């Protein structure tokens, strides 16, 4: 099995977490390799603009799919590295408390919430008036923050080990992260920090509603299940056909076998079991299976 087949098999049999990581890495590699060809041809790389989420509402009307595509889109190596690592670590903890379907739903809903926070912030506050036309959002950060916030809200005392820091509770990780994102709104990555806050709010609201008996992911889980069933290849049913001649032959052999069995049973009733030949005993043995 070559590397490509191993990757396909791993994706096919892997968990939702594995598939999310594969999709993010796959999109990143596709975009970067395509960028090389555009560079060699001395052409502008426009595909990124059609997949990233634009802050300008007029641009969004012509590319509504970016509300979803942006959350799988990365261009910087460090950006995807940290997002994939956090997605893996936090996803593992999330799956300790919830199932895989909720992980996928929180990833998607967190990304949507982050995108909405980004759009509202850039179109509402005067600070972004001059840059709204040129601003775009990309990356899985909002989705990852939704997962982190959900874990921190559901299991605030869950402890993780951070490099150079040691053991830290999830509630402290979430609080420090939120503080950094609020402060970061006044930085060069204002859009990213707004999206982070949106994802975190979604994760928090999901757990609060879940504890009160409402599953906010239920509708999305039903939708994704329906899509999977729709595009899942149907199992082929093998139908065997026997003609009239085959049926007659089958019935003839069955009748002959039944006559032989009746003959053996009649012989036992008259002369006893010991009077049977080796072949007749084997016939009875096979019949009793």
pLDDT of residue 8: 76
The mean of the pLDDT values for the chain is 87
* Helix, coil or strand: residue 72: helix
Q: Which residues have a Cβ under 8 Å from the Cβ of 262 and sit 6 or more positions away?
A: none
Would you say the pTM of this structure is higher than 0.85?
no
pLDDT of residue 248: 66
Q: Are residues 255 and 120 in the same domain?
A: no
User: For residue 80, is it within any domain?
Assistant: yes
Q: What is the mean pLDDT of residues 30-55?
A: 92
DSSP 70: G
Q: Which domain holds residue 266?
A: 251-287
pLDDT of residue 135: 96
Q: Are residues 170 and 217 in the same domain?
A: yes
For residue range 213-223, what is the model confidence (pLDDT) as tens digits?
Answer: 999 999 999 98
User: For residue 206, is it within any domain?
Assistant: yes
> Sorting pLDDT into bands at 50, 70 and 90, what band is 83?
very high
Number of domains in the chain: 2
Token pair, residue 239, equals 């139908």
Angle at 110 between CA 104 and CA 113, to 5 degrees: 145
Q: Are residues 32 and 116 in the same domain?
A: yes
For residue 193, give the nearest of 256, 126, 141 by alpha carbon: 141
User: For residue 91, is it within any domain?
Assistant: yes
* Interatomic CA distance for residues 283 and 107, integer angstroms: 64
User: For residue 63, is it within any domain?
Assistant: yes
* Interatomic CA distance for residues 283 and 268, integer angstroms: 13
Q: Are residues 99 and 138 in the same domain?
A: yes
User: For residue 110, is it within any domain?
Assistant: yes
Q: Are residues 170 and 260 in the same domain?
A: no
Q: Are residues 64 and 175 in the same domain?
A: yes
Q: Are residues 33 and 150 in the same domain?
A: yes
- By the 8 A CB rule, do 90 and 151 touch? yes
User: For residue 263, is it within any domain?
Assistant: yes
């Amino acid at each position: 099995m070559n590397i490509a087949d191993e990757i396909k098999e791993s994706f096919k049999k892997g968990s939702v977490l594995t598939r999310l990581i594969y999709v993010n890495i796959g999109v990143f590699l596709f975009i970067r390799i395509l960028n090389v060809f555009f560079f060699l041809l001395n052409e502008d790389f426009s595909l990124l603009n059609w997949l990233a989420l634009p802050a300008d509402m007029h641009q969004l009307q012509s590319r509504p799919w970016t509300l979803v595509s942006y959350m799988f889109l990365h261009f910087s190596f460090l950006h995807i590295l940290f997002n994939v690592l956090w997605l893996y670590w936090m996803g593992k903890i999330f799956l300790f408390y919830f199932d895989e379907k909720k992980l996928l739903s929180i990833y998607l809903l967190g990304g949507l919430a982050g995108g909405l926070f980004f759009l509202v912030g850039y179109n509402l506050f005067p600070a972004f008036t001059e840059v709204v036309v040129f601003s775009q959002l990309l990356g899985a950060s909002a989705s990852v923050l939704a997962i982190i916030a959900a874990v921190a809200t559901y299991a605030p005392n869950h402890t993780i080990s951070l490099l150079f820091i040691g053991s830290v509770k999830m509630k402290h990780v979430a609080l420090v992260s939120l503080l950094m994102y609020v402060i970061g709104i006044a930085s060069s990555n204002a859009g990213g920090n707004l999206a982070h806050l949106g994802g975190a709010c979604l994760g928090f609201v999901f757990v609060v509603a879940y504890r009160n008996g409402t599953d906010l992911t239920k509708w999305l889980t039903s939708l994704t299940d329906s899509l999977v069933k729709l595009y899942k290849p149907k199992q082929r049913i093998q139908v065997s056909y026997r003609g009239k001649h085959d049926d007659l032959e089958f019935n003839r052999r069955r009748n002959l076998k039944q006559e032989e069995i009746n003959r053996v049973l009649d012989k036992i009733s008259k002369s006893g079991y010991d009077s049977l030949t080796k072949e007749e005993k084997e016939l009875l043995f096979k019949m009793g299976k």
